[in-house]
């Protein structure tokens, strides 16, 4: 079977962007990789962990992104090449360390990969990480296609090592999760030996301590590194230009948007009128190159996703060199030619260019489109996001909601990040009433839990997943305990980082390399903090609900671990605990006493409503066989049998 770690230069493979980045790192001689899973970044560390058996490489899934960056930095300090990868939110988490790391500099090449999610296809934000590179003054690279993702990653290590600074590589969902053909280069030979040279003089960057102080001195060095990067970038092969020498319209673009630009120009047949300046080294910008291209065009459009980063930085160059290059007309996000949020696509870009160039860009098949839209609207009902069949979260939120309703004091749940974020929606009975960053559920709950003094008598509940617990909940939990906040914390322990593909976390008995690892036990840890802990199975609906109601009556911090593996977990997948069917004679259907309770209220996708018969059914293809609906049915009409 072909592997990412094959030393087969010249091979061409169909790789996902994230795999291309991982391959580039392997070709650069990466020895340490760390990360925290988050869509769309997870496959980078996932594929490196698979390669780790074949090449000299240490890989870990760290407790959070900040720790992963610190782990990678340590390797770099010891002279090795290292990488950390995370989704955009992770850069926020790690940013405090990143600022100091930029100040101290690095030794072995170190690359920080941030995967942004324009359009928030799998995020609860549309954050933009590129500003961090400018903010902390480190170089930023953005690959524009798949071969480049690999090649640029490999080069990023050289650049990092040459300048002594961490380098940030920014990808987006349509790069990370898209695939293309990538030609392999060879893997390096011998691994480096790790030595942390730290005995030297305090200001010696090669032999001295790795620190960001003395600040003035170090900050100046850091800015010098950026100046040198700017010079290097002037000649970078990752900055390309295609189009006429004096284009009517210059498109300045980067990342996946570069592909949309090319497609748009092709759609408009405007190759002779539009020049595409694709920038791979987006911070610091190569001023000379940018000036040269600006000088050759009167109209400039910026095509990039999320915030106008290129746009604003290029405008600074244009302003500073206006006397040389003349006054330009700019199009982009700031004046509304392209949207400030959501994803771009070839059509949006083509429409924007067409408008500027005066090319008619109507819909040639408007009739078709109208007919198709009408048909889709009439016949293709939207798919609401929902928990998978057999998902323990459905049971957990079912019983939490019931308990809060029974408690009758308008209690609420502070949410956190994971699959269970979906409990904001009907599939989780709209349970979540706050939802922010990793760990924020407990932090916010800790604050709510102190408002009793001001008359708040609503019980406060927070939920977090097992992986999230280790990531950022722990400090908030300690805070709540120390300050005697009144909070019930339910840890939805589904035995892995389920959302992103079951990466191990500190509670797992194996690590990213598949080796046995000491698992940090949630209950023991919480108990050691002096807080009461109860462990329950959410599938034991009635008993667990009673336990929640009992806990709701108590004050202080209470921890309830709701433990049941994810339905997609390797252990459960394709195994059904029960065969489930509906007893027609007992099913009440729409009558008073039921009112389609299972399908209308419990809403598991494994159920069906047979309108003609007026009875519930089980969709045997979809049903995961958890059997929970048999407890839900008021008539006992849903029957589960051990197969």
Q: Which residue among 269, 358, 378, 518 contacts other proteins (CB under 8 A)? A: 378
Which residues in 348-367 contact other proteins (CB under 8 A)? 350, 363-365
405 contributes a contact to other proteins by CB under 8 A: yes
DSSP secondary-structure letter at 497? B
d(CA 387, CA 422): 7
CA 363 to chain CA centroid, nearest Å: 35
**Closest C-alpha among 21, 27, 33, 129 to residue 73:** 33
Q: In angstroms, rounded to a whole number, what is the distance separating the alpha carbons of residues 177 and 500?
A: 13
Nearest to 485 by CA among 458, 446, 440: 446
Answer yes or no whether residue 543 interacts with other proteins by CB under 8 A.
no
Q: Where are the alpha helices (DSSP H) in 331-487?
A: 346-357, 366-379, 392-407, 440-448, 466-468, 474-482
> Is residue 632 involved in binding other proteins (CB under 8 A)?
yes
**CB 470: neighbour CB atoms within 10 A?**
24
Q: Tell me the sheet residues that pair with 32.
A: 58, 82
Binding pattern to other proteins, positions 148-187, x when CB under 8 A? -------------------------xxx-xxxxx------
Location of structure tokens 């559920």 = 441
Q: Is 379 in the site for other proteins (CB under 8 A)?
A: yes
Contact between 623 and other proteins (CB under 8 A)? Answer: no
The nearer residue to other proteins, 8 or 386, going by C-beta atoms, is 386
Note whether 341 binds other proteins by CB under 8 A: no
- Please give the structure tokens belonging to residue 131: 């500003």
Number of H helices and E strands in the chain, helices first, is 21, 23
Which residue among 194, 211, 271, 608 contacts other proteins (CB under 8 A)? 608
Nearer to other proteins, 139 or 143 (CB): 143
Q: Which is nearer to other proteins, 209 or 614 (CB)?
A: 614
Compose the 268-307 pattern: x for residues touching other proteins by CB under 8 A, - for all others: ----------------------------------------
User: With binding defined as CB under 8 A, does residue 554 bind other proteins?
Assistant: no
**Sequence-ordered alpha helix ranges (H) in 52-121:** 65-77, 88-104
- Binder among 40, 247, 280, 449 for other proteins (CB under 8 A): 40
- Binder to other proteins among 36, 77, 184, 260 (CB under 8 A)? 260
Shortest distance (Å) from residue 440 CB to other proteins = 16
Query: What's the CA gap between 337 and 16, in Å, rounded?
Result: 31
Q: Is 96 in the site for other proteins (CB under 8 A)?
A: no
Count of C-beta atoms within a 10 Å radius of residue 434 = 17
CA distance 418 to 424: 12
What is the smallest separation between the CB atom of 270 and other proteins, expressed in angstroms? 14
Q: Which of residues 558-597 bind other proteins (CB under 8 A)?
A: 574, 590-597
Position 625 contacts other proteins (CB under 8 A): no
Span from 20-28, 66-74, 397-405, 485-493 in contact with other proteins (CB under 8 A)? 397-405
Tell me the window of 210-218, 278-286, 302-310, 418-426 that interacts with other proteins (CB under 8 A).
418-426
Alpha-carbon span 128 to 308, nearest angstrom: 10
């Amino acid at each position: 079977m072909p592997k990412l770690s094959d030393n087969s230069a010249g091979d061409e493979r169909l790789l996902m962007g994230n795999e291309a980045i991982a391959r580039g790192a392997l070709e650069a001689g990466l020895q340490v990789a760390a990360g925290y899973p988050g869509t769309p970044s997870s496959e980078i560390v996932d594929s490196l962990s698979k390669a780790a058996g074949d090449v000299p490489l240490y890989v870990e899934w760290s407790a959070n992104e900040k720790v992963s960056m610190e782990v990678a930095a340590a390797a770099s300090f010891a002279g090795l090449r290292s990488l950390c990868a995370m989704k955009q939110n992770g850069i926020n988490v790690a940013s405090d360390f990143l600022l100091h790391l930029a100040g101290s500099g690095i030794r072995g090449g170190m690359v920080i990969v941030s995967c942004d999610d324009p359009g928030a296809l799998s995020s609860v934000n549309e954050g933009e990480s590129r500003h961090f590179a400018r903010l902390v003054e480190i170089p930023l690279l953005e690959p524009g296609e798949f071969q480049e993702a690999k090649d640029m990653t490999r080069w990023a290590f050289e650049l990092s090592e040459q300048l002594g600074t961490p380098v940030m590589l920014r990808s987006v969902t349509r790069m990370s999760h898209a695939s293309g053909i990538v030609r392999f280069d060879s893997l390096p030979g011998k691994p480096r030996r790790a030595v942390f040279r730290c005995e030297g003089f305090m200001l010696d960057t090669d032999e001295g301590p790795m620190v960001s102080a003395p600040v003035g001195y170090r900050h100046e060095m850091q800015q010098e590194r950026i100046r040198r990067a700017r010079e290097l970038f002037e000649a970078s092969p990752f900055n390309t230009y295609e189009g006429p020498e004096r284009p009517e319209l210059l498109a300045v673009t980067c990342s996946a948007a570069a592909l949309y630009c090319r497609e748009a120009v092709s759609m408009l047949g405007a190759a002779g009128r539009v020049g595409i300046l694709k920038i791979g080294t987006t911070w610091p910008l190569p001023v000379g190159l940018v000036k040269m291209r600006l000088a050759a065009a009167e109209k400039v459009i910026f095509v990039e996703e999320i915030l106008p980063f290129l746009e604003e930085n290029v405008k600074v160059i244009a302003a500073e060199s206006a006397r040389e290059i003349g006054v330009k007309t700019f199009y982009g996000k700031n004046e509304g030619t392209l949207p400030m949020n959501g994803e771009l696509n070839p059509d949006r870009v083509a429409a924007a260019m067409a408008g500027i160039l005066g090319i008619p860009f109507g819909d040639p098949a408007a009739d078709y489109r109208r007919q198709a839209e009408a048909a889709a609207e009439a016949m293709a009902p939207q798919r609401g996001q929902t928990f998978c069949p057999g998902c323990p979260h459905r049971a957990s939120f079912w019983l939490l909601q019931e308990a809060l309703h029974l408690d009758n004091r308008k209690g609420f749940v502070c949410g956190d990040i994971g699959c269970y974020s979906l409990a904001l929606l009907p599939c989780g009975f709209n349970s979540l009433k706050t939802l922010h960053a990793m760990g924020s559920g407990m932090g916010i709950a800790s604050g709510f839990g102190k408002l009793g003094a001001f008359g708040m008598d609503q019980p406060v509940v927070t939920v977090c997943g097992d992986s999230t617990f280790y990531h950022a909940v722990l400090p908030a939990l300690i805070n709540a305990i120390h300050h005697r906040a009144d909070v019930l914390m339910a840890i939805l322990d589904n035995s892995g980082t389920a959302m992103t593909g079951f990466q191990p976390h500190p509670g797992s008995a194996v690590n990213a390399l598949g080796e046995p690892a000491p698992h940090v036990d949630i209950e023991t840890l919480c108990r050691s903090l002096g807080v009461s802990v109860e462990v329950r199975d959410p599938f034991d609906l009635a008993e667990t609900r009673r336990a929640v109601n009992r806990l709701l009556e108590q004050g202080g911090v209470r921890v309830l671990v709701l433990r049941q593996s994810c339905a997609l977990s390797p252990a459960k997948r394709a195994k059904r605990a029960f065969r489930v069917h509906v007893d027609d004679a007992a099913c009440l259907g729409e009558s008073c006493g039921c009112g389609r309770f299972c399908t209308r209220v419990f809403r598991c996708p494994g159920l069906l409503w047979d309108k003609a018969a007026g009875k519930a059914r089980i969709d045997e293809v979809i049903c995961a066989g958890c059997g929970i609906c048999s407890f839900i049915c008021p008539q006992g009409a849903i029957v589960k049998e051990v197969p």
